[in-house]
Amino acid sequence: MTFVPRTQVHATVPPSYSYSTPWWWTFSDSSHQHCDSGHFGNTYTVLTTWNGLEVCGPTGTNTSVTFPGGSVEGEWQCTELVKRYLYIAYGAPALSNTNGDQVVANYASTYSDLFTSISNTNGNPNHIWPKVGDVISYSDVHTAIINSVTITDATNGNATLGIIEQNASSTGTTTQQFVSWKIKGDKDDPNDTGSDTVTAWLTPNNTQSWSNTSPSGTTSDAIYSMAATSTTSVWAAGQEHPSGSNWVPVTYYNNGSGWTKYMPPTQSSDHHYLYGIASSTSGDTWTVGTYYSYPQFKTLAYHWNSSTLTWTHVSSDSPGPSSCGCVNKLLSVAIDSSGTPWAVGQYNSNSSTTLPLLEKWDGSKFAQQTLSLPSSAIDGSLTSIAFSSSTNGFAVGSVYTSATGWTWIAYHYDGTSWSSYTYGSSSAGLSSVAIVSNNEAWAVGSKGSSPLILHYTTSGWNEDTSYNGYYPSGTNLLGVGTDGANDVWVVGYINSTTRFYTMHYNGHAWVQVNTPSISLSSWYDWKLESVAVNSGYAWAGGYDEATVSSNDNPLVFQWS
């Protein structure tokens, strides 16, 4: 498995921002920052660009460049551009021993989950239009990318296709005629004067995208946690700030036809915050957080009553002594396969020490559980918990030891105890964990000022560093969710550009995915905090503050 920096584009909708430069390119000096000048030399030409994808020349060159994964391509041959694009856009590692005439067939065969080959030789009986972003293979050993489609006769299937290519036209662009539902002519044959040599074109299977499906009717809410047990049973939890009042707890439920707000009962006249929500396939649902009751913040937990459609407050331990005005908070909740809910968070044992908090529902309350700490641990917090069964679970967060300083920690539950833990060796912390199976899990957080992704397999927790150094500047990873080994989502935000951040693992590689455009100020209050995944759909929850003076807006993006 390889982490690959890229930005997703769907063939039906070009991206609203440019692709990033491939991380395997190098540059010779500050005046030559294009076309792998450090490897190729300064005789390159940028023939054209499309959404930041550089089409390079001169034509006829064949200096070798090695793609991540080992495929060797010639710069600037036609296959280098197309394979670079398919790698950056769709997470398809480059295929060796694949010439221009073989690209469509080989990629459709190797990555059948990502692409479909549309035959150009059978009359196209289904009347399929080529789309922006599709890839063409010519039988005379050439390949190119469609970057525009201008329909001239919708009834009879006629259009003009814009093409970008390497090692053919001197400008890197040309056009191709689409007549009677068929791509006509040879390469660089805009007037259809030659024989038909396009054998097929490659189109992506997945045309999903993020859409803004945020709850309406309020501009004073923030969402911190998402849960989904089906495409028609999705929960969001957070807090609301009514005008002239303190923060109060809030949840939303979507049965597939929109969001309905449900307000849990407050426990005092002071602030309430919900940070975690979990639901089972039977509809058993719990949400947790914290609230202030002088002189301390106490843990907060509710249980959903599906008969009355109301939340009931339930007891939870707050071990921090009230004498120090201590903070007790639950940050995440999960339900194991036996139906037992667990919650994690943190508490102050005194005015200067914070310790991890683990609680289990014992039938009448969330009761604190004993938790071992690494030797010389001074402080700590647990931020997320997840289960694949009643005998396999993970809880993650961070601890401070005299040997390592702040570092990530991951506890494992074997059905009996949480005594087994793994922790890092350098400054780091984890914000979220998601479990694929008993043998696989993902966790995200930060390491110093850089994003951190950990992958758990039978060899234990391991950091993958191949993506490091290529995140957009200021990237923060806050949530991870999964519905299988080939469907993993990570969400967060990019502080330096005021953008939300999402990325998807499709079983081959990670793909950075564009989110809907929202007008935001440079103010700090905008984040995607959590993501829930189910049946090929995803829901990313958070909040945005459109202007410095406004309250937070509840935010949910839906991948569908």
Which tokens sit at 257?
A: 């036809």
Q: State the sign of the Cα–Cα–Cα–Cα dihedral 266, 268, 271, 273.
A: negative
Res 8 pLDDT > 60: no
Domain end, chosen from 150, 176, 204, is at: 204
Task: Tell me, yes or no, whether 358 and 467 share the same domain.
Answer: yes
Determine the pLDDT at residue 30. Answer: 85
Find out whether 452 and 463 touch, Cβ atoms under 8 Å: yes
Q: State pTM to two decimals.
A: 0.89
Res 210 pLDDT > 90: yes
Determine the pLDDT at residue 473. Answer: 85
Q: Could you tell me the residue range of the domain that residue 336 belongs to?
A: 210-559
Task: Tell me, yes or no, whether 229 and 194 share the same domain.
Answer: no
Residue found by looking up tokens 């806050």 in the block:
478
- Evaluate whether residue 376 is within a structural domain: yes
Q: State the sign of the Cα–Cα–Cα–Cα dihedral 93, 94, 96, 101.
A: positive
Task: Tell me, yes or no, whether 152 and 290 share the same domain.
Answer: no
- Evaluate whether residue 18 is within a structural domain: no
Distance, CA of 458 to CA of 34 (rounded, Å)? 41
Q: What is the pLDDT confidence band of residue 324, given thresholds at 50, 70 and 90?
A: confident
Provide, rounded to the nearest whole percent, the portion of the chain with pLDDT above 70.
94
Per the prediction, the chain carries an average pLDDT of: 91
Task: Tell me, yes or no, whether 52 and 159 share the same domain.
Answer: yes
Task: Tell me, yes or no, whether 195 and 256 share the same domain.
Answer: no
Q: What is the pLDDT confidence band of residue 325, given thresholds at 50, 70 and 90?
A: confident
Determine the pLDDT at residue 91. Answer: 86
In three-state form (DSSP H/G/I as H, E/B as E, the rest C), the secondary structure along 497-508 is: CCEEEEEEECCC
Least confident of 17-26, 28-37, 146-155, 395-404: 17-26
Left, alpha or beta for 484 (phi > 0: left; psi -120 to 50: alpha)? left
Task: Tell me, yes or no, whether 198 and 216 share the same domain.
Answer: no
- Tens of pLDDT, residue by residue over 357-389, are 999 999 999 999 999 998 888 999 999 999 999
The arithmetic mean of pLDDT across residues 503-515, rounded, is 86
Task: Tell me, yes or no, whether 442 and 496 share the same domain.
Answer: yes
Q: What is the pLDDT confidence band of residue 13, given thresholds at 50, 70 and 90?
A: very low
Domain end, chosen from 157, 180, 204, is at: 204
CATH number for the domain including 163? 3.90.1720.10
Task: Tell me, yes or no, whether 336 and 417 share the same domain.
Answer: yes
Domain end, chosen from 163, 187, 204, is at: 204
- Evaluate whether residue 391 is within a structural domain: yes
The arithmetic mean of pLDDT across residues 59-75, rounded, is 86
What type of residue is 430? L
Task: Tell me, yes or no, whether 328 and 277 share the same domain.
Answer: yes
Greatest CA separation found in the chain?
Answer: 88
Determine the pLDDT at residue 508. Answer: 87
Task: Tell me, yes or no, whether 237 and 91 share the same domain.
Answer: no
Least confident of 398-402, 417-421, 546-550: 546-550
Q: What is the pLDDT confidence band of residue 29, given thresholds at 50, 70 and 90?
A: confident
Find out whether 462 and 455 touch, Cβ atoms under 8 Å: yes
The arithmetic mean of pLDDT across residues 255-269, rounded, is 96
- Tens of pLDDT, residue by residue over 81-114, are 999 999 888 889 999 999 999 999 999 999 999 9
Task: Tell me, yes or no, whether 127 and 245 share the same domain.
Answer: no
Distance, CA of 88 to CA of 81 (rounded, Å)? 10
Instruction: Let me know if 24 is exposed, middle or buried by CB neighbors in 10 A (0-12, 13-18, 19+).
Output: middle
Residue bearing the bigger pLDDT, 550 or 145: 145
The arithmetic mean of pLDDT across residues 515-530, rounded, is 84
Least confident of 68-77, 216-225, 541-550: 541-550
- Evaluate whether residue 178 is within a structural domain: yes
